[in-house]
Amino acid sequence: MPITTLLLVRHGESLANIAASYAEAHDLEVIKAPARDADVPLSPTGIEQATALGRWLAARDAPPSAVWVSSYLRARQTAELALDEAGIAPPVRIDERLRDRELGILDLLTSQGVQARFPEEAARRRWVGKFYYRPPGGESWADVALRLRAVLDDADRRDNGVLLVVAHDAVVMLTLYVCLGLTEGELMDFALQNTVTNASVTTLARTEQGWTLEDFSFEEHLRAHDVSVTKHEGDHDGSH
């Protein structure tokens, strides 16, 4: 029996989320991240969010039968804290294919920084569009979608029932693209109008007709425990 339910979770708020939002708000060119992208930890608020996620998991009638997690620290911390709080121990797989989108030469630059330092790339991105634009040394959204197709195929062969995936906002958005069979235009319109908040849960259910979206960026478990809901935009590549 394959995967029947996907619980897609964006990691809790990270220190880089805070740094990026500060840089954008103050028109800075460079984001002062505390570590390389793979090693950025959760903020104190992110820790609270992950704990609240765990309480929500503990209250579910159908707990996850398996957990797949991005190899980046902020995602691993979110999964560990949530599972500990929930008191459950399903098999956990760390998979680098669930990592955040790589931005290459645009890494740690705000939208203003990209325009100031790489105006030709800003223009190329506007021409090509967010879905297919690949920064030098980085990835496009289409590249991320390709690795997610492989992850989902592997998960179907290895696991069954409810699968919890803890990763990043781009991963959540592009899993919707893959599972729901969206077009580029439909995905871009949806992403323009919706944000994956930190430690939120997006639920996909599988029917005989295919995948359906049951809930997007559910965050009531945070409000129920008086934990801040944070809406940090991800994917800083001059796309704002």
Q: What is the pLDDT of residues 135-192, one digit of tens each?
A: 999 999 999 999 999 999 999 999 999 999 999 999 999 999 999 999 999 999 999 9
- Torsion, Cα 227 176 71 133, to 10 degrees, reads -110
pLDDT at 240 over 60: no
- What's the pLDDT tens digit per position in 220-238? 999 999 999 999 986 656 4
Report the sign of the C-alpha dihedral through residues 40, 131, 229, 232, in that order. Answer: positive
Q: In which band, very low, low, confident or very high, does the pLDDT at 1 lie, cut at 50, 70 and 90?
A: low
Kind and range of the H or E element at 202?
A: strand 201-207
Task: Report all structural domains of the chain as residue ranges with CATH numbers, in order of start.
Answer: 3-224 (3.40.50.1240)
Q: Quick one: pLDDT at residue 233? A: 82
Kindly indicate the confidence band of residue 89, based on its pLDDT and cuts at 50, 70 and 90. Answer: very high
Tell if the pTM clears 0.85, that is, is over it.
yes
> What are the φ and ψ backbone dihedral angles of 14, each rounded to 5 degrees?
-110, 165
Contact (CB, 8 A) for 42 and 71? no
Is the pLDDT at 87 greater than 60? The verdict is yes
Mean pLDDT computed over every residue of the chain: 96
- pLDDT tens by residue, 9-54: 999 999 999 999 999 999 999 999 999 999 999 999 999 999 999 9
Report the side by side order of strands in the sheet with 161-167. 92-95, 66-70, 161-167, 3-10, 201-207, 210-218
Question: In this predicted model, what pLDDT tens digit does every residue of 200-225 receive, in sequence order?
Answer: 999 999 999 999 999 999 999 999 99
CB 81 within 8 A of CB 50: yes
Nearest to 152 by CA among 176, 184, 120: 176
**Burial class of 136 by CB neighbour count within 10 A (0 to 12, 13 to 18, 19+):** exposed
* Residue 85 pLDDT grade (very low, low, confident, very high; cuts 50, 70, 90): very high
The pLDDT of residue 238 is 46
In this prediction, residue 11 carries a pLDDT of 98
